[in-house]
Amino acid sequence: MGIPIARIFGIEIRVQLGWVIVLALIAVIAVGQLTAFEPELEAAAAWVLGGIVALGFFVSSISHDLAHAFVARRRGVEVQTIGVAFFGGSTPFDPTSPNPGDDAAIAVSGPLTSIGIAALLFGGFVAVVSVSPELNAAAGVLSILVLLNLLLGVINLVPAYPLDGGRIVRDLAWRRSGSERTGWRAASLSGRATGLIVIAIGIYLLIPSGDVTGAMVALTGWFLILSANAVRDRVRLDDLVGGHVVRDAMEADPITVQPMLTVDTFASQLLDGESSVTAVPVVQGDEVVGLLGIGQVRRLLPARWASTHVEDVMAKPPRLSFLGPGDALKPALERVQRAGLDGLPVMDDGRLVGVLTRRGVATFVQGRTRSSAATAGGLPPTSEGGEDTPR
């Protein structure tokens, strides 16, 4: 997910194309603020400075996410890739730790870094103003960057998942209770409460004057509630997959392809909505060298299928990792999600035995849900075909 733009200390940095829109908006807002701050500023100079503000914020956002990665490494978490998120966003590459104390340290490092950058820039702003009052444009650039970094840090401390503050709430409750499930429930409750408060603030701003800002604030609160509901659904998912292993949900004996095969030979089958195949291991001899999923095929124009080889688009190590059939299902699914792939190969003593895919886990969960519902209703569990399972 995202486009790789750089590698710092061995960490690949990926960004989404949506950043173009975000940075353009920041540049436009900055130009408006700078011209209000310095009315005599020429238009060309204002746009150059607006671009500097946008670039500065982008670098600050990278620093925010790199802080997460560096602290994660110090806490023993392997980090190969990070995704630079928007305000309060999250990506599948966000580093996490199975230890709640370490994960809280990882979560808080980003906001503290942003607030620290804001403090340094504020020092620069004071220095510029004190040196010469004629440097209004430079002071304006620094003041806007101070505000943006302060917002980036403070917003991420709001106790609503997926914001860093929501992660901190989860980790504190998890550490205190010893139960990750309790931590997620706490994050869901705090997110819902925060969302309701933000909606109330938005309505308070909207009703007297009809200010569109109030509507935007209320909409933000609604999104926080939706995120809290997603956390609640995650708790339910954990209940369904907890105690199970990869073998229970994997697709056994998967079909494989060769790296030199062209995509057109099987793309139509892979994209068939009725097909159960969503990720295909790529093998060379007896070795699994990659994996190709429907997500990668969809990013290719059909006109390029015949000229594109599997090895040109397949996921490779280190992004591609391998699972074991006895691995716990829940962390295995999290690895699939963090990799941003449709699945991961399952190996047993160096031999390919299956693929764990998102669709396969979804099918497994649906089966568990039907079984739980049938048991709650006093009915015997049913098989996939709907017939009673022999007892």
Is the domain of 94 the same as that of 197?
Answer: no
Total structural domains within the chain: 3
Question: Look-up: residue for tokens 């409460």?
Answer: 193
Please check whether residues 35 and 132 belong to one and the same domain.
Answer: yes
- DSSP E strands in the chain: the ranges are 3-8, 11-15, 81-84, 251-252, 279-284, 287-293, 343-348, 351-357
Check residue 170 and give its pLDDT: 94
The pLDDT of residue 372: 63
For the domain that residue 326 is a member of, what is the CATH number? 3.10.580.10
Shared domain check, 223 and 145 = no
Task: Identify whether residues 233 and 250 lie together within a single domain.
Answer: no
Domain that holds residue 120: 1-157
Same domain? For 201 and 95 the reply is no
pLDDT of amino acid 365: 83
Sign of the dihedral through C-alpha 221, 225, 231, 237: negative
Q: Which residues of the chain have pLDDT under 70?
A: 1, 87-89, 92, 133-135, 210-211, 272-275, 371-391
Same-domain check for residues 147 and 12: yes
Give the span between the Cα atoms of 262 and 307, in whole angstroms: 7
- Residue 83 to residue 12: CA distance in whole angstroms: 9
Which pLDDT tens digit goes with each residue over 298-352?
888 888 888 899 899 898 888 889 999 999 998 888 888 878 888 999 999 889 9
What pLDDT, on a 0 to 100 scale, did the predictor assign at position 107?
Answer: 94
Q: Are residues 16 and 119 in the same domain?
A: yes
For position 387, what pLDDT does the model report? 40
Q: Are residues 146 and 255 in the same domain?
A: no
